[in-house]
Structure 1
Amino acid sequence: MLSVGTYRPPDVVTNDRFRTPDASDPDLWLRRRTGITTRHYAGDHDTVASMAVAAARRALDVAGTGADDVDTVIVATSTHMLCTPPAAAEVAYEIGTTNAAAFDLSAGCSGFTHALAVAADLVSCGTSEHVLVIGSEKLTPRLDPDDVYTAPLFGDGAGAVLVGPSDRDGIGRVAWGSDGGRRGSITQTITWDDYLRDRTSRPPVLAMDGPAVFRWAVELVPQVIAQIRSETDVEIKAFIPHQANRRITEAIARSTALPPTVAVADDVTMSGNTSAASIPLAMQSLLESRAAAVGDVALIVGFGAGLCWAGQLVELPAFLPTTEPSTTTEAKATA
């Protein structure tokens, strides 16, 4: 990965906007249950594609790479509300690529790590030279505001990395899989086909069995981590899981026996669960905090709807603090 760039919508939503099942203080209730304090909500002008464009431009600026050098664009998303065309084609055009291959990838909250694995293989086999991998989600219109257990968890945003050639493996072998038998754990209230047959029904919104997802994640993710660690003895400096909620992250970290020196990403507290965008957003935050550095080896794992998962070791890319203009670049990463 050569660089990372992000976009967070400016509307910051605090816990006070929500209600709780027992009419208790929403901030205290949500902090205790999820660790989340704020999340970003996209505006009417924000789309999956426009947020992806903003993140992609930032990543290109950081890498010092022109759009003409990008030959493939992959957008990981579950919330692009057009069946066709793909968001990636719009992104490729808007950033100024020249006939780049472009496609969307849908794997829920593990979409980014799935897309990263595809990009790494494209570059390593010579099919592509520079691939933009973007996780972009506009989840908030897909939520039921009356669902007090689900709606407060989620936010919107986009994160992008530029994958390019290197003299060493900066993206490790992926460990991935799925369990479609549990697909009902994260789904939507009705199918689009059912809604189109009966327009008097409510449009589909996100539906999630939170306790079931928690139990599955804290059992599965440590197994994925063990598989990845068994294939290498490299020193891991950072752990960046999908930012589902703080309780899941803490439970996974406790059960994996990672050394206490490993920095654990905690962007969920400020951004909520942003699905496929959560890992690149958390990567940016971790780098900005200086808890991890460019070139450090990080373990990233995405997990969620499907139920699907994917994880790999990566070398952390170059970045610019979000407060700095993107006219200059951080020292270039080497992987």
Structure 2
Amino acid sequence: MTRRATALGTGHYLPARIVPNSEFEATLDTSDEWIRARSGIARRRFAAEGETTSDLALHAARAALGNAGLTADDIDGVIVATSTPDLTFPSVATMVQADLGMTHGFAFDVQAVCAGFVYALATANAMIVSGQAERLLLIGAETFSRIMDWSDRSTCVLFGDGAGALVLGATEGTGTNADRGILSVDLNSDGRYRDMLYVDGGVSTTGEAGKLRMQGNALFRQAIEKLAATAETALAKVGLSGPDVDWIVPHQANIRIIQGTAKKLGLSMDRVIVTVQDHGNTSAASIPLALSVGVAEGRIREGDLLLSEAIGGGLAWGAVVLRW
């Protein structure tokens, strides 16, 4: 028998404030048509004043636990993927742990920007498969609206705030690709490309949070090639290929990247979970948000083969193959 990390429940949370593309027309040289054509985004959510990343994460965590039929007492640890923590330290995960009433286990954050949830999945999978944990609560949560340069129309219209969560638990499989749970992981990074997407501030440089900066065209050219390659690698590790996939649940950055990656994998868009039009780019929150939406809408069902891939600042990118 083979120990697997299997999905037990999902949940998500979105701030109340909906920001349509038209809201940017008053302050920027842009339009709803321009934003939709270049990104596929129609609207996004922004956190309210005083609403923090840990607040969003907590709501998503409670939803996922409820969906799994579990309580915080059943969880061994909390892992949060975020690039927009409440504070420099302690971690968002410890804040969620406390607010859930957990006085046992462990909690820590993972930072790989938009690829953060893939890295969190890889970390949780390793801990469960090795026997270090039985059940883990994974959360992707971001308040990217706090690091936007509102005068830069090429970036500030693309991002949104939100959180998604997934409960993973240990199960026994046969060791084949027919097992439920995480089947394979592929992680990559290349720091030579770090200037393509970064924040121009930090603790040991400016002492301030800074603003997001992005070389959009250059990043676009890197994204499709790297996402398709990591997806193919992850699938090949378990003797699978694009046509075997029931659903791609990708990082929701840009509809053209999503379309381009699906095309390279030989899959039509009706086999892709797409939420970018409603949420914008929520960075590390986008994959668990899309997973939760797909499950809630009844599209993702037990036994489906899922492929999730993401690329973000670093550059860091990767893919996970998971049977639901």
**What TM-score does the superposition give when structure 2 sets the normalisation length?**
0.90
* Amino acid corresponding to residue 62 of structure 2 in structure 1: R
* Amino acid corresponding to residue 232 of structure 1 in structure 2: V
* Amino acid corresponding to residue 250 of structure 2 in structure 1: P
Q: 2:251 maps to which residue?
A: 242
Structure 1: tracts of 5 or more residues without a match: 317-335
Aligned equivalent of 1:15, options 21, 28, 41: 21
How far the C-alpha of 1:305 sits from its partner, in A, is: 0.8
Are 2:40 and 2:276, in contact at CA under 8 Å, matched by a contact in 1? yes
Q: 1:274 maps to which residue?
A: 282
Aligned residues: 309
Q: 2:144 maps to which residue?
A: 139
Q: 2:3 maps to which residue?
A: none
Are 1:20 and 1:148, in contact at CA under 8 Å, matched by a contact in 2? no
- Determine if the alignment matches structure 1 residue 205 to structure 2 residue 223: no
Are 2:46 and 2:160, in contact at CA under 8 Å, matched by a contact in 1? yes
Q: 2:46 maps to which residue?
A: 41
> 2: CA distance between counterparts of 1:44 and 1:22?
22
> 2: CA distance between counterparts of 1:139 and 1:28?
23
Identity %: 37
Q: 2:235 maps to which residue?
A: 229
Are 2:231 and 2:318, in contact at CA under 8 Å, matched by a contact in 1? no
How far the C-alpha of 1:303 sits from its partner, in A, is: 1.1
State the secondary structure of the residue aligned to 1:140.
helix
- Determine if the alignment matches structure 1 residue 4 to structure 2 residue 10: yes
Are 1:21 and 1:148, in contact at CA under 8 Å, matched by a contact in 2? no
Change (3 A) 1:297 1:20: farther
Are 1:70 and 1:131, in contact at CA under 8 Å, matched by a contact in 2? yes
Are 1:20 and 1:29, in contact at CA under 8 Å, matched by a contact in 2? no
The structure where strand makes up a greater share of residues is 2
How far the C-alpha of 1:191 sits from its partner, in A, is: 4.1
> 1: CA distance between counterparts of 2:183 and 2:228?
18
Deviation string, structure 1 residues 275-323 (Cα, Å, up to 9, x no partner): 000001111222333333233110001211110012111123xxxxxxx
Are 1:39 and 1:271, in contact at CA under 8 Å, matched by a contact in 2? yes
Q: 1:284 maps to which residue?
A: 292
Pairing 1:77-96 to 2, within 5 Å after superposition: 77-96=82-101
Structure 2: tracts of 5 or more residues without a match: 1-6, 174-178
Are 2:184 and 2:235, in contact at CA under 8 Å, matched by a contact in 1? no
- Determine if the alignment matches structure 1 residue 172 to structure 2 residue 179: no
Q: 1:252 maps to which residue?
A: 261
Deviation string, structure 1 residues 29-79 (Cα, Å, up to 9, x no partner): 111111100101111232111111111111111111121111110010000
Deviation string, structure 1 residues 251-283 (Cα, Å, up to 9, x no partner): 11112213x386102101100000000001111
**What TM-score does the superposition give when structure 1 sets the normalisation length?**
0.88
- Determine if the alignment matches structure 1 residue 54 to structure 2 residue 63: no
- Determine if the alignment matches structure 1 residue 128 to structure 2 residue 122: no
State the secondary structure of the residue aligned to 1:152.
coil
RMSD value, Cα: 1.9
Are 2:53 and 2:143, in contact at CA under 8 Å, matched by a contact in 1? yes
